[in-house]
Amino acid sequence: MAMTMTQKILARHAGLDQVSPGQLINAKLDMVLGNDITSPVAINEFEKCGADRVFSNTAISLVMDHFVPNKDIKAAQQCKRVRQFANKYDIQNYFDVGQMGIEHALLPEKGLVGPGDCIIGADSHTCTYGALGAFSTGVGSTDMAAGMATGMAWFKVPTAIKVEITGKKPPFVSGKDVILHLIGEIGVDGALYQSLEFCGDGLQDLSMDDRLCIANMAIEAGAKNGIFPVDAVTMAYIEGRFQRQPIVVEADPDAEYTKTVHIDLNTLRPTVAFPHLPENTRTIDDVGRVKIDQVVIGSCTNGRMEDMQAAAEILKGRTVADGVRCIVIPATQQIYLDCLRQGILEIFIKAGAAVSTPTCGPCLGGYMGILAEGERAISTTNRNFVGRMGHVDSEVYLASPAVAAASAVTGYITDPASL
């Protein structure tokens, strides 16, 4: 039976020659991920079931990134709980203040995930690692606990949607515009419990940062995972990072898909998702004049080096508009350091932006950028649900770093090409 990329990875990890959509399998895991919000719950379940050892102290990653540095006593208690667990079981991949980054930027950067892996994480955006040709998906904290104890997880094998990408990106179009366009086309439940499998000659024009952004937001279309084929871009990225042998899989030529979606990069325009769903998209030409109060550039979606560079290119020699708060969050310590070395932090600060240590904070309405009643933010994050970034009567508009930076300069949502 012909199989997709995802199905081949799942079959291999289940020790089966083949799998079919809808089949329930038990698969071996290469990495189990948790953060400071989800890990304490998983640890409670781990102990409640009587487990007294982890399946591997190198295949578990615990990243303190959501409310770190701790925003309050509860956040401090949560991190202490995880820190004690990591010490007890000698978890090698424990990342705290000074070493941590936003989890879905940090793990690829550190080479902890790679081609052919089977990965679960107690965070919905764990699907990010599909950019590297891995099967990765978000799970609940109970499944994380079982994964830490046994190194196994059960899955229902998903069907797949083929996303064929052709052409080349125009100026100021990035991976964020690609995925917002796709979600706008198929809807937030358009890929429900399916695999989004990307292919086509247009992949050559998508950098690894573009792909990580696109895979990250597969969940916003309801997908179980998103996955890219392993090519020269992938191999160049993992060289010197990924310490295990990469397993490269390709979809069979006659693999079955529920449908095929075509995206011509040449035709894309910078795209903005209006409140209160990522599917509520408009191109920059149809946005109109939308005044904003806050700009957030960062997150597991768009806090990588190319994102920082794109924002800096816009902000260089310009200033943030009066009445606008601009918050920039490099996704990892390494990206922060690279921004420092390249003079990018100076550009941000001279423009009037606040630059933060890595944190998820504002994306989920945690801290470092909460919105008050009636305020609007344009953000490079991944969700714009009601109350996502603060007050239930606030609004979040999703966009690329270039659009967000241009909007910071003018005070309203702006086409970067117009500056």
Q: Please give the pLDDT value at position 243.
A: 87
pLDDT tens per residue across span 242-283: 989 999 999 999 999 999 999 999 999 999 999 999 999 999
**C-alpha pair distances (Å), 413 with each of 157, 395, 406:** 41, 13, 8
Report the C-alpha dihedral over residues 344, 345, 350, 351, rounded to 10 degrees.
70
Range 349-382 burial, b when 16+ CB lie within 10 A, else e: eebbbebbbbbbbbbbbbbbbbbeeebbbbbbbb
Name residues whose C-beta falls within 8 Å of residue 336's C-beta, 6 or more positions apart in sequence: 330, 345, 357, 358
Contact call for residues 175 and 209 (beta carbons, < 8 A): yes
Tell me, yes or no, if the pTM score tops 0.85: yes
Strand partners, 197: 162, 227
148 token code pair:
């830490």
DSSP H helical segments within 101-174, as ranges? Answer: 103-110, 141-150
Q: Single out the residue of 176, 169, 215 nearest to residue 403, CA to CA.
A: 176
Give Cα separations from 325 to 81, 95, 200, 380, 405 (angstroms).
34, 29, 40, 14, 11
Rounded to a whole number of angstroms, the CA Rg of the chain reads 20
Q: Where in the chain is the domain with CATH 3.30.499.10?
A: 5-263, 270-418
Segment 59-84, tens digit of pLDDT:
999 999 999 999 999 999 999 999 99
The two tokens of residue 322 are: 């009066």
Tokens read off for 172: 């100021």
One digit per residue, the tens of pLDDT, for the chain of length 419 reads: 899 999 999 999 999 999 999 999 999 999 999 999 999 999 999 999 999 999 999 999 999 999 999 999 999 999 999 999 999 999 999 999 999 999 999 999 999 999 999 999 999 999 999 999 999 999 999 999 999 999 999 999 999 999 999 999 999 999 999 999 999 999 999 999 999 999 999 999 999 999 999 999 999 999 999 999 999 999 999 999 998 999 999 999 999 999 999 999 999 999 999 999 999 999 999 999 999 999 999 999 999 999 999 999 999 999 999 999 999 999 999 999 999 999 999 999 999 999 999 999 999 999 999 999 999 999 999 999 999 999 999 999 999 999 999 999 999 999 999 99
Domain 270-418 has CATH 3.30.499.10: yes
DSSP category for residue 203? G
Selection from 118, 106, 32, 30 nearest residue 64 by Cα: 106
416, two tokens:
């970067």
Homologous superfamily assigned to 5-263: Aconitase, domain 3 (3.30.499.10)
If you count them, how many residues does the chain have? 419
Separation CA 200–CA 189 (nearest Å): 23
